[in-house]
Amino acid sequence: MTAPSVPSVAVQPWAARDDVRITRVRAIATAPEGTALVVVKVETNIDGLYGLGCATFTQRWRSVVSYVDDHLARLVVGRYPGDIEDILRVCRLTAYWRDGGVANNALSGIDMALWDIAGKRAGMPVHELVGGRARAAADTYIHAGGASIDATLDEAEGYIAQGWRHVRLQVGQPGTGSYGAPAIDEPTDAWAYPDGWDVEDYLRRTPRLFAAARDRLGGDVRLLHDSHSRLTPKQAVLLARSLEPYRLFFLEDVLAPEFWHRLPEVRRDSPVPLAVGELATSAATAGRLIADGGVDLIRCHISAIGGFTPALKLAALAEHFGVRTAWHAPGDTSPVGAAANVALDVTSPAFGIQEAHVYNDATHEVFPGTLVIENGWIRPNEAPGWGIDLDEKAAARHPAELSGHDIWAAANRSPDGGVNFP
């Protein structure tokens, strides 16, 4: 048996059906694409039986590593790995002050790793453990963004030629705050903060992007757009109405979380479906988005709400309220987290769309079994558990560094110099 890295204080509250026990829990950080990824490895006293879970909070990854190694490991080592719900409740509630990006990502790493172990013990992929397929594959959307409208549409045409049916479009703007596309060099010397991001420019430029997209790409491709949580409620409605002629599949994250209580009125007045939830840091908050009638699609970063288990419950809630899922999954989701997303996608009747990320060769080396998108479709692995492994020697060749997001977000200001929502 491998000795735990910290003394265990775990209590096994009832007799388990066998002698399988957790012997070690640790967080592993790696950055094969330059973006810090955190994966939790949960080992057992059975040779070769371990699980992997996504705990990626790129902007504060060192805190997540410490939370797992210094706080949660001692609550988990010694436990029977099949008691997933109880282990999660103990880890969450013993903190007293609970939820938040650091705590829930740490918890997610353990949660997903326990599901991975459960699948391996059963000899089944996780999607079969939770009821099996409701569809053959998940349709995905991909991101196209350029400094100019033509550059954005050039990239979109390339993705469409590769088989994607859904494409998110972003176009560059002046200033550091340009999101999803390169900033453009236009004179802003008259501003108090010359590298500022101007919301009025954004509200004018975005409809022009989609008008050009429909002219050039035609009416069949499904188009999406992300406001990145920067608008006021009135600005959100104005943008949604200006985009109505272009039939967006969804408009993403129009309001910052501080103003999510206003989403029902924005959704009432919006002719475009709203997808919200990327910045939710608890399952309860995400659940209220659904129950309060403020969203058409829920799109959480599932590790930020605590992992696969709460996301499974959230998908069931979405189904009952007629809301669809669109889980967050850019490059700061590990391949393990992506596999968990897809397990939800193919099993939930509430599925709407899945965000896509095409991982580089180095990531496939670090994470053997990383899912591959074909013609815009993504399918789960059929191997037991997530079907994803971790080559720790390869991971060590790509050390994680502190995120550059802090530097960018600190410089993302309005023309008057006030800090914007990033």
Rounded-to-integer distance, Cα 86 and Cα 74, Å: 15
Contact (CB, 8 A) for 210 and 225: yes
Q: Are 266 and 245 in contact (CB under 8 A)?
A: no
Q: 328 an active-site residue?
A: no
Ranges assigned E (strand) in 323-399: 324-325, 354-355, 377-378
Three-state DSSP class for 34?
Answer: coil
- Taking the C-alpha atoms of residue 172 and residue 174, their distance in angstroms, rounded to an integer, is 7
Rounded CA-CA distance 168/131 in Å is 31
Q: How many residues does the chain have?
A: 422
Separation of alpha carbons 114 and 119, rounded Å: 9
Q: How far apart are alpha carbons 39 and 37 in whole angstroms?
A: 7
Q: For 288, what's the count of Cα atoms within 13 Å in the CB-facing half-sphere?
A: 11
Q: Does residue 127 carry a catalytic annotation?
A: no
Q: Which of 127, 143, 166, 228 is catalytic?
A: 228
Residue 177 DSSP symbol: T
Strand, coil or helix: what is 73?
A: helix
Name the active-site residue from 67, 179, 202, 359.
179
Which residues are part of the catalytic machinery?
Answer: 179, 228
